[in-house]
């Protein structure tokens, strides 16, 4: 007597009513957990669902997989792709990936350390380019900000307008989301009077540490001092974390300032020209 073959999964658009089931899948992979400081994952998944490229996979009516992508202007960015551990290897991840990336010519993602993820994404037209290094340390130990650089608060609508002006990408919907995150700090960086960067910092869900959630630099910005000034503001004198690209020139000064690499992803894209690793400190889920 042989075991019955597993039932085939069906896909449908994700809905807000699926949130608990989706979070259960994320938690099984260590990507969600207790809300100690503030709920971050719930609003993030809700935003992905609202953006319209989120799918769930079901077997016998139960949600066993979740995938979501977001149009980041320069490319469609794969934000999340997770399958319940006891259903991995049944083709569910591939089906979700094809569904959420359907029609996308330019594609980006951050692949986890799971060795099964990278080949799947390569076959979907993306190539591994550089490591995304989650660098954490004491913001009080950062070098002093140069006198010509200063940060100041700004509304998310100002940041959205800057991104549209610098890149041509209208991401106002995403900026509204970033600007509503728990204990968010939306800011700009000035070099004398010129605005050279904008970014967001916020709290994390499970640990009392702040994160530089995203920083975009103007093409003319000096990248090291600008990045360090943004991290100093984000940390507010305490510990801070950010996803730095391997090629970023601020990485060495951060390590010299007692920062350490606490995790890593692999950045992948359909073209090396899509993202400048020096000018963007990304939000890994939304780029």
- The pLDDT score that the predictor gives to residue 115 is 81
Q: Does pLDDT of 264 surpass 90?
A: yes
- Model pLDDT for residues 27-54, shown as the tens digit of each residue: 999 999 999 999 999 999 999 999 989 9
Q: Token digits for 142?
A: 């950062």
CATH number attached to the domain at 134-281: 3.40.630.30
Inform me whether the pLDDT recorded for 1 exceeds 90: no
Instruction: Reply yes or no on domain 10-105 having CATH 3.20.20.70.
Output: no
CA 266 to chain centre: 12
pLDDT number for residue 179: 98
Task: Evaluate if residue 188 carries a pLDDT over 60.
Answer: yes
Q: Give pLDDT, residue 116.
A: 83
Averaged pLDDT score across all residues of the chain: 95
How far is the C-alpha of 268 from the C-alpha of 118, rounded, in Å? 9
Q: Say if residue 114's pLDDT is above 90.
A: no
What per-residue confidence (pLDDT) applies to 65?
98
The answer to whether the predicted template modeling score (pTM) of the entire model surpasses 0.85 is: yes
pLDDT interval class at 2 (50, 70, 90): very low
What residue spans in the chain does CATH classification 3.40.630.30 cover? 10-105, 134-281
What's the pLDDT score for residue 3?
44
Mean pLDDT, range 199-210, rounded to an integer = 96
Whether residue 15 has pLDDT greater than 60? yes
Per-residue pLDDT reduced to its tens digit, 71-108: 999 999 999 999 999 999 999 999 999 999 999 999 99
d(CA 20, CA 66) in angstroms, rounded, equals 12
């Amino acid at each position: 007597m042989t075991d019955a073959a597993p039932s085939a999964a069906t896909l449908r658009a994700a809905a807000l009513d699926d949130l608990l089931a989706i979070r259960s899948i994320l938690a099984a992979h260590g990507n969600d957990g207790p809300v100690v400081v503030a709920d971050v994952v719930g609003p993030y998944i809700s935003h992905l669902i609202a953006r319209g490229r989120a799918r769930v996979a079901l077997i016998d009516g139960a949600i066993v997989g979740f995938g979501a992508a977001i149009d980041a202007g320069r490319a469609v960015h794969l934000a999340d792709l997770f399958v319940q551990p006891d259903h991995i290897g049944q083709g569910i991840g591939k089906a979700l990936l094809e569904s959420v990336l359907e029609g996308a010519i330019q594609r980006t993602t951050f692949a986890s350390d799971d060795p099964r993820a990278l080949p799947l994404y390569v076959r979907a037209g993306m190539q591994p380019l550089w490591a995304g290094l989650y660098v954490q340390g004491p913001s009080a130990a950062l070098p002093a900000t140069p006198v010509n650089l200063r940060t100041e608060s700004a509304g998310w609508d100002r940041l959205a307008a800057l991104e549209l002006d610098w890149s041509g990408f209208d991401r106002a919907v995403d900026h509204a989301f970033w600007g509503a995150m728990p204990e968010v700090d939306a800011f700009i960086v000035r070099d004398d009077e010129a605005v050279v960067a904008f970014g967001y910092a916020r709290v994390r869900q499970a640990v009392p540490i702040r994160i530089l959630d995203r920083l975009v630099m103007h093409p003319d910005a000096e990248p090291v001092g600008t990045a360090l000034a943004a991290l100093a503001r984000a940390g507010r004198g305490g510990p801070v974390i950010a996803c730095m690209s391997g090629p970023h020139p601020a990485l060495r000064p951060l390590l010299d300032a007692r920062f350490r690499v606490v995790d890593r992803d692999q950045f992948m894209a359909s073209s090396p020209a899509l993202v400048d690793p020096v000018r963007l400190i990304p939000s890994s889920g939304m780029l």
